[in-house]
Amino acid sequence: MATNIIKLDYQGLDVGFTGEGWFNATLAAEKFGKRVDHWLANQETKDYMGALSTHLNTRKTGDLIQTKRGKNGGTWLHPKLAVAFTRWLSPDFSVWCDCQIDGLIRGNHPYYDRLRARDMSAVSFRFMNNVLRMVRLEDGKETSEYHYQNEAKLLNWLVIDEFKAVERDTLDAEQLALMTALEERNAVLLAQRVNRDDRKQKLAQFAQEWRNCQPLTLGRAA
């Protein structure tokens, strides 16, 4: 089991998964007032695990169940076993978990959309800052941290409606995608020596047009 933990929200509960689809059964069981060891003790569960082991060609318990201590601790279940376990908890929760696991394993879960958006925004942020620095250098001006922060706050205002610093890890996939588009556009406007007031107006118009062109749901983690 890999150690990269993905937290996905189910009705206010942070459910832990790995990119390989392993599932933290302990926290989920607590939400539904049940215990993992009670389920594991069921004869039906033992029969299911025996059949699953046969089909997966393994007899090692650790290939289906792993226990982790400390942060993100608990009993973690193999994705095939997790689906069976969640049926014992709740039909709705089971269907939800099945969909999350399938998306994570296939690599098309909205969680990955957000990761890709986050990586792209980091690249566009550096690009915009480099353009800002070069333009000011050509004008014989030094660029301080204040200048970078001021540009960032301008774009933050267009994304979250607040002129302040923001931690990008708090933004969803749609906000990150808009941020990337704004940083790229702002870099072009900076290179064209458009003054700040005009850039603010052009960027606000661009942000509105960008939002109007997006689908109603853009890759957000569940």
- Chunked into runs of 10 residues, the chain (222 residues) has average pLDDT values of 78 90 93 94 93 88 84 89 94 95 88 84 95 95 94 94 87 90 96 95 95 62 40
What residues contact 196, with CB distance under 8 A and at least 6 apart?
A: 154
CA distances 189 to 63, 192, 193, 199, 218, Å, are 55, 5, 6, 7, 27
Largest CA distance in the chain: 78
Please report the pLDDT score of residue 219 as a whole number: 41
How many whole angstroms from its chain centre is CA 138?
39
Predicted local confidence at residue 112, as pLDDT: 83
- Report whether 136 contacts 142 (CB < 8 A): yes
User: Which residue type sits at 163?
Assistant: F
Instruction: State the pLDDT at residue 77.
Output: 95
CB 49 within 8 A of CB 81: yes
Angle at 133 between CA 129 and CA 138, to 5 degrees: 150
Task: Tell me phi and psi for residue 74, to 5 degrees.
Answer: 140, -170
**Residue 83 and residue 141: Cα distance in Å, rounded?**
61
* 165 vs 75: CA distance, rounded Å: 39
User: The whole model's pTM is what?
Assistant: 0.61
